[in-house]
Structure 1
């Protein structure tokens, strides 16, 4: 007799860090009513690069993230915490319950 293999429900992939970061940066910029070019100029990056960050197309360095955070007048700690909270909220149940050993 053949073995019956239970079907697993398809898992929704977790969002990528860069996607959540980008969405949050865009949200913060829009909250301030700023144009892409204005924020990019203060951050010292090109508008195209900031646009690609916001769309999750770039894996920006910590220096770039810090520059954009500063231009949006948020701390790197607050920005990182907000991204982590978004990722935690979107995580599948088993991953959310996992405890990392120190």
Structure 2
């Protein structure tokens, strides 16, 4: 049962949007695994080969290769090298194709942003008990 007070409060409630009206959400940076999968699939289809054919040639399970192509799995370098070889590419050639595609996608969706200046860990002496992580 609702009361008159709750009806009045509901009628006067205001919604505050997280973004101004009409503003688009920020573009999502393309993920490595998605771009890699797209490149693998594009190369396979350009050669008119089936998923089974490439999986067998690379000694990769067909379901796993399918997951990699769909960007659902992060493949190891060994799997990527095997898939590349099955497509007649070296691992380096595959990575160059992925890099070019990443650059193409990023240039379409992002404006250049100046990277934040990062202070090297060695610039200041560590204090006792301080933990520093290197990336």
User: TM-score of the superposition, structure 1-length normalised?
Assistant: 0.81
Aligned pair partner of 1:87 in 86, 89, 102: 102
Larger radius of gyration: 2
Corresponding residue number in structure 2 for 1:43: 58
Query: How many angstroms apart in 2 are the aligned matches of 1:89 and 1:32?
Result: 22
Corresponding residue number in structure 1 for 2:68: 53
| Higher relative contact order, chain-length normalized (CA < 8 Å, sep 6+) | 1
Aligned length: 92
Instruction: Give 5+ residue unaligned stretches, structure 2.
Output: 1-18, 116-135
Query: How many angstroms apart in 1 are the aligned matches of 2:26 and 2:59?
Result: 39
Matches for 1:1-102 after TM superposition, within 5 Å: 10-91=25-106, 92-95=110-113
- 3-state SS of paired residue (2:26): coil
Moved >3 Å (runs of 4+): 6-9
Q: Mean alpha-carbon deviation: is it higher for 46-55 or for 84-93?
A: 84-93
User: TM-score of the superposition, structure 2-length normalised?
Assistant: 0.62
Instruction: Give 5+ residue unaligned stretches, structure 1.
Output: 1-5
The CA RMSD over aligned residues, in Å, is 1.8
